[in-house]
Amino acid sequence: MALDRRRFLGIAAGAAALATDGQMARADTYPSRPLRFVVGFPAGNASDVLARLTGQWLSDRLAQKLVVENRPGAGGNIGTEVVVRAPPDGYTLLLILTSNAMNTTLYEKLNFDFIRDIAPVASICRNPYVMTVTPSLPAKTVPEFIAYAKSNPGKINMASAGIGGPTHVFGEMFKAIAGVDLVHVPYRASFVPDLLGGQVQVVFAPITHLIAYIRSGKLRALAVTTATRSEALSEVPTVAEFVPGYDAIGWYGIGAPKGTPAEVIDKLNKEAGATLADPKFRARLADLGAAPMPMTPAEFEKFIGDETEKWAKVIRTAGIRVE
């Protein structure tokens, strides 16, 4: 029997109300089970350390465990694709970082579009990098380094953690702006032993990696890569003080599959913001040489877009290719 119009509209309105109530109930009870926190790099990596620290604090605030899952490979792309393919329900999150912005240009045949397929949830922190040299190098300042490099073109080896990563791209930007010829030497394993031994002479690496060697005098910090000085190495100048226009930061944040409900993203952003405001968490970040960088999801989205565009120019100018 055909339904009359009034009865049909009543049933439709009731169904809509039930759907809305269901969505509100899900938002009110989220999260109701443990969350996956995917890291696209190996255990023990700086990214992994930061993810576990953040996950621990967010677990307490959400009253659900964030289980860190390492899915390394392809510069973080394997882990990113895991999250892109996951249900957009807020239970699978991704540690996103500078590499994701760079990979958009470095890799031509990805199975996803990072900007389109990952929703920015919350920014965590900025991680300054430091231009560091082996003590056997005669240069003790950035101007002295530039002068030495120009008088010895192609004789200074610049280490990196791999082709196309921040340690490489940050160095390429320095080469371009300072007008020096450095030989890039990418490493699959740690470059630190060779830097200590003098086989490579300079690196642009996270303060987190090198601060212990710098403080002990085993390595020499010439400058930090950020526009302002780092509290972790307050006596060390910035590269920009000698090379105008140079500004490079490492950064970390949280992403989710595109389509994750706005109310879930807002809840996660709120709890991440509360975590970043906690003096004890800020102190832990400071121990790692990092500084909190809270943003709304919209602000974080714009930041990622700006970073992607910035590094695309550097990568194309330097002709960096990932084989």
Q: Determine the 3-state secondary structure of 85 from DSSP.
A: coil
Q: Structure pTM?
A: 0.86
Of 225, 241, 257, the position where a domain reaches its end is 241
What does the pLDDT average to over 273-295? 94
- Spatial CA neighbour of 95 closest among 272, 314, 302: 272
- Spatial CA neighbour of 211 closest among 186, 192, 185, 187: 192
Confidence class for position 288, pLDDT limits 50, 70, 90: confident
Tokens read off for 317 = 């100018």
Residues 289 and 304 in one domain: yes
Residue 25 lies in a domain: no
Instruction: Look over the chain and give the mean of its residue pLDDT values, rounded to a whole number.
Output: 91
Residues 177 and 196 in one domain: yes
pLDDT(129) > 70:
yes
Residues 123 and 44 in one domain: yes
pLDDT(196) > 80:
yes
What tens digit of pLDDT does each residue of 47-77 get? 999 999 999 999 999 999 999 999 999 999 9
Higher pLDDT, 44 or 3: 44
- Spatial CA neighbour of 158 closest among 194, 196, 200: 200
The DSSP bridge pattern shows strands 156-160 and 118-133 to be: unpaired
What is the model's pLDDT at position 11? Answer: 47
pLDDT(10) > 60:
no
Residue 2 lies in a domain: no
Residues 191 and 234 in one domain: yes
Q: Determine the residue type at 79.
A: G
Residues 93 and 137 in one domain: no
Residue 11 lies in a domain: no
Residue 148 lies in a domain: yes
Confidence class for position 138, pLDDT limits 50, 70, 90: very high
Residues 138 and 230 in one domain: yes
pLDDT(21) > 60:
no
* Residue 153, C-beta contacts closer than 8 angstroms, at least 6 positions apart: 180, 181
Residues 132 and 201 in one domain: yes
- CATH of residue 305: 3.40.190.150
pLDDT(229) > 90:
yes
Residue found by looking up tokens 């964030």 in the block: 66
Residue 304 lies in a domain: yes
Q: Which domain holds residue 114?
A: 35-127+249-318
What is the model's pLDDT at position 112? Answer: 96
Of 194, 212, 241, the position where a domain reaches its end is 241
pLDDT(132) > 70:
yes
For residues 78 and 233, give the distance between their C-alpha atoms in angstroms, rounded to a whole number.
34
Confidence class for position 323, pLDDT limits 50, 70, 90: low
Higher pLDDT, 6 or 185: 185
Higher pLDDT, 92 or 22: 92
Tokens read off for 223 = 């400058």
Burial 123-145 (b: 16+ CB within 10 A, else e): bbbbbbbbbbbbeebebeebeeb
Other Cβ atoms within 10 Å of 184 Cβ, number: 17
Residue found by looking up tokens 């109701």 in the block: 32
- CATH of residue 158: 3.40.190.10
Q: How many domains does the chain have?
A: 2
Higher pLDDT, 37 or 28: 37
Confidence class for position 27, pLDDT limits 50, 70, 90: low
Tokens read off for 64 = 């659900």
Residues 174 and 304 in one domain: no
Percent of the chain topping pLDDT 70: 91
Other Cβ atoms within 10 Å of 172 Cβ, number: 22
pLDDT(16) > 90:
no
Of 182, 215, 241, the position where a domain reaches its end is 241
Residues 49 and 118 in one domain: yes
